Amino acid sequence: MNTTTPLATSFRGSACTGSPAVMQPESPPTPLVLLVCRSASRSQLYRAVMDRKGVACLMVTSLKEVNALAAGTAFSGLLLDMPVMVKATPSERLALEDLQRALPCAYLNIAPASDSIKLMMVNDLQGTAATIEEFAELSTRFPARCVAPKDRITLHLHTLLQSAAATSPPEQTVTLDLSPGGCFLFSVDPSLQTGTQLSLQFIGLNDPAPINAAVCWRNPFGAPGKPGPGVGAKFVQISPAQREQLMELLQQASHEP
């Protein structure tokens, strides 16, 4: 992964003359834009323009990396190279929707005849841009922000739940909600503590293989309010076919009244 990080703020003073150091006013932080591009040569063209405009780019080559980065890093924009988007799966496109609503976002392409950069805005946050230069200027005006993953959707899937280390039969339970990266499962088993490795088998998926997961948090029996007793789990290892089908189920559930 190639990354460009903002320049660190520096302090200048008289190191050799004995005079007191003078603290310079802090420069505003360098805007950081997330760039999704698989081609080193194409990304070099894009980043050269952004660099000239004083905007840093953090580049990734896969859409699968985007949501995790955006949840923990504050960005002022999102740039998506068209060859990546052409091959994106429906689930990858769905996973981008929250980011595209929250950050200035544009598609990039390069005209074969002239090598000129073409840009098409996805939204109009902080205004619109017709060129990558205008997008860079737009991102300097947009306050950097982290974007949390897509909210969980109420979806009930019958599940066989088992601790990875258990030898007893799995617990028959159900999901109370689901997201692209995990789920909340009804359970009153006190042995399921934070960090416990799980094996989840969602009944009804075309691929019935167990999904490896880990407990992120638990809501014990007797705790007031929602979501009820159970554990929140994140998916650690899941097949592409399983993820794709779960995304389709989420999309269907999100459009139900």
First to last CA, the chain: 42
Tell me what pLDDT residue 2 has. 45
3-state DSSP of 142-197: CCCECCCCCCCECCCCEEEEEECCCCCCCEEEEEEEEECCEEEEECCCCCCCCCCE
Number of other CB atoms surrounding residue 226 within 10 Å: 9
Mean pLDDT of 94-113: 87
At residue 46's C-alpha, the angle toward residues 88 and 86, to 5°, is 15
Q: Which tokens sit at 241? A: 């076919």
Element (H, E) at 99: helix 90-102
Average pLDDT of the residues of the chain: 84
Q: Which tokens sit at 102? A: 């929250």
d(CA 86, CA 251) in angstroms, rounded, equals: 20
d(CA 52, CA 186) in angstroms, rounded, equals: 53
Kindly report which listed range (12-16, 125-129, 174-178) carries the lowest average pLDDT score: 12-16
Return the CATH class of domain 158-254: mainly beta
Determine if the pTM surpasses 0.85: no
d(CA 162, CA 213) in angstroms, rounded, equals: 10
Tell me what pLDDT residue 70 has. 86
pLDDT digits (tens, 9 = 90+) for 153-172: 889 999 999 998 888 899 99
pLDDT digits (tens, 9 = 90+) for 38-47: 999 999 999 9
pLDDT band at 28 (very low <50, low <70, confident <90, very high): low
Ranges of each domain in the chain: 32-141, 158-254
What SS3 class is residue 217? strand
Q: Is the pLDDT of residue 5 over 60?
A: no
Sign of the alpha-carbon torsion through 88, 89, 95, 97: positive
Which superfamily, per CATH, for 32-141?
A: Response regulator (3.40.50.2300)
